[in-house]
Amino acid sequence: MPLGETKALKVDVRVLAASNVDLKKLLSQSRFREDLYYRLNVAKVSLPPLRERKEDIPLLIDHFIEKFNLLKGRAIRGVTPDVLSFLMDYPFPGNIRELENVIQYAFIRCKADLIGLEHLSEELFEKTDFQKGLVSDSHIPHFPEEVEQIRSLLNRHGGNRIETAKALGISRSTLWRKIKKYSLVHPV
């Protein structure tokens, strides 16, 4: 009955619900209400995690690129073969939402018409075999724009790391780690 009304209002609704836990198991442990379980469990659809259906990754990548192209008025055509290969091997613990975030991040960084490894978040590479040395070094992305920007600002500020960090909008410790990571040495 709507608030303030004296008569009940008839409605016809359907509820779509999703869960990342086994509700039947919770039910058997008396940790989920039985009546609610049977109300929700009319038509059950089980969808395996993305890591178990790798064949969906290229389709989802295309979908997300199309979505972001429409939202942002861009014309990114897709990803390079290296990116596709990397993403096909990535475990995606965050499932489809994580893949969407990966593509959105790369979309923001990409100024070309194809997303390359250099447009992906460095965090992705830290979670994979790229960092463990199990994959060829030739595939490890280098971030040439970032390296050049740091090198240029170090030169402009005469090697002063405090001023360079301020200009980059990062902390001194982050700048120090990047200088070490990219083996940048400012000539004295």
What's the pLDDT tens digit per position in 90-134? 999 999 999 999 999 999 999 999 999 999 998 888 776 554 443
Rounded mean pLDDT of 2-27? 88
Amino acid 20: pLDDT: 82
pLDDT tens-place string over residues 40-95: 989 888 888 999 999 999 999 999 999 999 999 999 999 999 999 999 999 999 99
For the segment 154-167, the average pLDDT, to the nearest whole number, is: 88
Residue 137 has pLDDT above 60, yes or no: no
Question: According to the model, what pLDDT value does residue 172 have?
Answer: 80
The pLDDT value recorded for residue 183 is 79
| Res 149 pLDDT > 60 | yes
pLDDT at 45: 86
Quickly list DSSP for 114-125.
EE-GGGS-HHHH
C-alpha span between 90 and 149 (Å, rounded):
29
Q: 13-35 as b/e, with b when 16 or more CB fall inside 10 Å?
A: eeeeeeeeeebeeebeeeebeee
pTM of structure: 0.60
- Per-residue pLDDT, 1: 76
Domains of the chain, first to last: 11-46 (no CATH), 50-138 (1.10.8.60), 144-181 (1.10.10)
